[in-house]
Amino acid sequence: MTFRGAIETPVGVVAVESDGAAITRVTWPRGGAGADAGEPDALVHRALAQLTAYFAGELQAFDLPVDLGRQTDATRAVLMALHETVGHGETVTYGELAARSGTDVPARGIGAIMGANPIPLIVPCHRVVASDGLGGYSGGRDGEGLLTKRWLLEHEGALPTALF
């Protein structure tokens, strides 16, 4: 059974899914679709409360069980290295994350793994940047991926606030 819930955030509606034992998905529903589908369980309520605290600047580390679903060993290693070693207010380059993961995934492959992360924000793919800039980001409202990434990094103090 899948449990769902959603909250409005400064970067759009964020929806959370749980299988009752772990958080299995975090998304930005397109056009609000799926934001209200299903019922939340205690774990979804806990995740939404933690996300609310994160966006209020009151939480720096999520304390939630996560389940990445079916992944290759390399993908799982990369996502877990990100989840366990890149904290609030920190960034890591695609190449640095590849090295931290202990895999032979090249930096370009790390970018693809970040784009397929099923649990953004909690597994903080927004903290992975290119060696020469922000890199990409697929989260946030339609067409606002990089604006969302910049907002999240500014919110965490990893980037100075934009002047305009």
CA 7 – CA 2 distance, rounded (Å): 17
Q: What whole-number distance in Å separates Cα of residue 12 and Cα of residue 43?
A: 21
List the structure tokens of 64.
């939630």
- Residues recognised as catalytic: 125
For 46-163, where are the E strands, in sequence order? 92-93, 128-129
Return d(Cα 29, Cα 1) in angstroms, integer: 20
Return all residues near 148 (Cβ < 8 A) that are at least 6 apart: 11, 12, 126, 137, 139, 140, 141
